[in-house]
Amino acid sequence: MNIVLLGAPGSGKGTQAEALVARYGLVHVSTGDLFRHHLSQGTPLGQMADAYMREGRLVPDEVTVAMIRDRLERATETGGLLLDGFPRTTAQAGALAELLAERGERVDAAILLDVDEALLLERLLGRGRSDDVRETIQTRLTAYREQTLPVIAHYDAEGVLHRVDGVGTIEAIAARLARVVDGLEANA
Ligand code: AMP
């Protein structure tokens, strides 16, 4: 089962993704983590992504999709993927559908962690990551609104979208997510 975890920056996606992969034996694929890894290794891809990440803008689709293609080629025979931070544009969603179709697979569910924007800002400002300064945060939230909200609409139209309230303790939110995934497994 392949699951896309959607949510704005600061929605708690990364934390919840870790809990989901541990619980369901999924392979965690996070484009943010992949970019940060490339950056720390000083690869050409990392160097090109650097400026975008520092400014809070999305790395161009061709670059991101090529990186994902490479990652998925190394993740065959899995019990399923948990995609975290990808897709963030409708072009990326189209590319993902194609990559999965090549394996005879699809996005089985897209789960949106719903958190309102005032709370997102508060969380992001408190997190202290290097791209968590106010100006960058605003850019990232704008990118989310303009480029990623259409991805949510896309999965909604496909009938695979599940919304989960992303406000509460980490454990409470993890339990809500687990209910959704257990429901998917029961219907599979
Ligand atoms: P994240 O850790 O998911 O918040 O990602 C950190 C940064 O990496 C983002 O602000 C973007 O610059 C870049 N990034 C991560 N995922 C993507 C993606 N799917 N498409 C484009 N850029 C991305």
Residue from 30, 45, 50, 53 whose mutation best tests the ligand 1 pocket (most atoms within 8 A of CB): 53
> With 90 as the cut, is the pLDDT of residue 128 above it?
no
Beta strand 161-165 with 27-30 is unpaired
pLDDT confidence bin for 187, thresholds 50/70/90: confident
Q: Whose alpha carbon is nearest atom 11 of ligand 1?
A: 58
One-letter amino acid for residue 147 of the chain: Q
Q: What is the pLDDT of residues 2-30, one digit of tens each?
A: 999 999 999 999 999 999 999 999 999 99
Q: Is 147 in the pocket of ligand 1 (CB under 6 A)?
A: no
- Of 25, 72, 64, the closest CA to residue 48 belongs to 64
Q: What is the pLDDT of residues 38-67, one digit of tens each?
A: 999 999 999 999 999 999 999 999 999 999
Q: Which residues contact 84 (CB under 8 A, 6 or more apart)?
A: 5, 13, 14, 17, 28, 29, 30, 31, 32, 33
Q: Is 12 in the pocket of ligand 1 (CB under 6 A)?
A: no
Q: Is 140 in the pocket of ligand 1 (CB under 6 A)?
A: yes
Q: What is the mean pLDDT of residues 137-166?
A: 96
